Amino acid sequence: QPVSVNFSVYANRQTGYGYVPASDLLKMLSQRFMAQSKIIQVKPDRLDFYFNYGVSKQLPVRMAGYVVPGKSYYLARTRFWPDQITVYASKRVLDSLRFVKTVPINIVNFGDTVIQTVALEKIKGVKMVPDRVRIGLYPDIMTEESIDVPVGSINMPEGKVLRTFPSRVKVNFIVGASMFRNITADQFQVVVDYNELMEHPSDKCNIYLKASPHSVRSAKLSISQVDYLIEQQ
């Protein structure tokens, strides 16, 4: 026989929280047994519950845990189905949430796509719909590549032009094989600092890699100095 609890007796409508104490539980349960029966223990010793009146919002899903592809691979992309879920909670709790996390997962040494169903990490007083999602992990093989990038300048006074020899230098980097076709020279920035030339005059000037796309790793110049000429316009 089920035990029916009167919601209005135990619900605090101001806080969205309520609980049924152990003493009340014992009374309700005693009515379901014969008179000579004795209840030794009840677990849990009280029933907590949270409620609201349909207050919810959509939140993105984030992965938690330790995910390391095999040697020469990196994690190129992570995908969730669905990538957003509906979260029900009090307004105060909802305002404090920016995303929900999966339970910690541990997947290592993989070179092919991995698809798994994972539960979402529980938050007290929060209901998630759905409470589990599918996650897709997409590894990509790393490859060493290079690209010729024009040499520019910074802190150059107006009316002066810097010319370097060579005018373009090679930048070496590591990138996912599938992403290399999206890499272009204008995503890198190689420069000479005019202020450094004035402070330390020399036949050659230092060049610096000031910017590179986020999708590449270990970007470095093939040479560190070039010949140069400063012209007055």
**pLDDT value, residue 22:** 86
The ranges of the chain with pLDDT < 70 are: none
Q: Tell me what pLDDT residue 60 has.
A: 97
| 2 occurs within a structural domain | no
31 and 70 in a common domain: no
Give the structural domain span for 134. Answer: 56-141
Per-residue model confidence (pLDDT) at position 211: 95
Look at the chain and report how many structural domains it folds into: 3
**132 and 151 co-located in one domain:** no
CB distance 191 to 207 below 8 Å: yes
Tell me what pLDDT residue 163 has.
92
pLDDT digits (tens, 9 = 90+) for 101-135: 999 999 999 999 999 999 999 999 999 999 999 99
Torsional sign, CA 104, 110, 113, 117: negative
Residue 94 has a pLDDT of 92
Residues 64 and 129 in one domain: yes
Q: What is the predicted pLDDT for the residue at 219? A: 95
Residue where a domain stops, chosen among 141, 164, 199 = 141
The pLDDT value recorded for residue 84 is: 96
Q: Please state the separation of Cα 180 from the chain's center in Å.
A: 23
CB-based contact 205:167 (threshold 8 Å): no
d(CA 34, CA 9): 26
pLDDT tens sequence across 70-105: 988 989 889 999 999 999 998 889 999 999 999 999
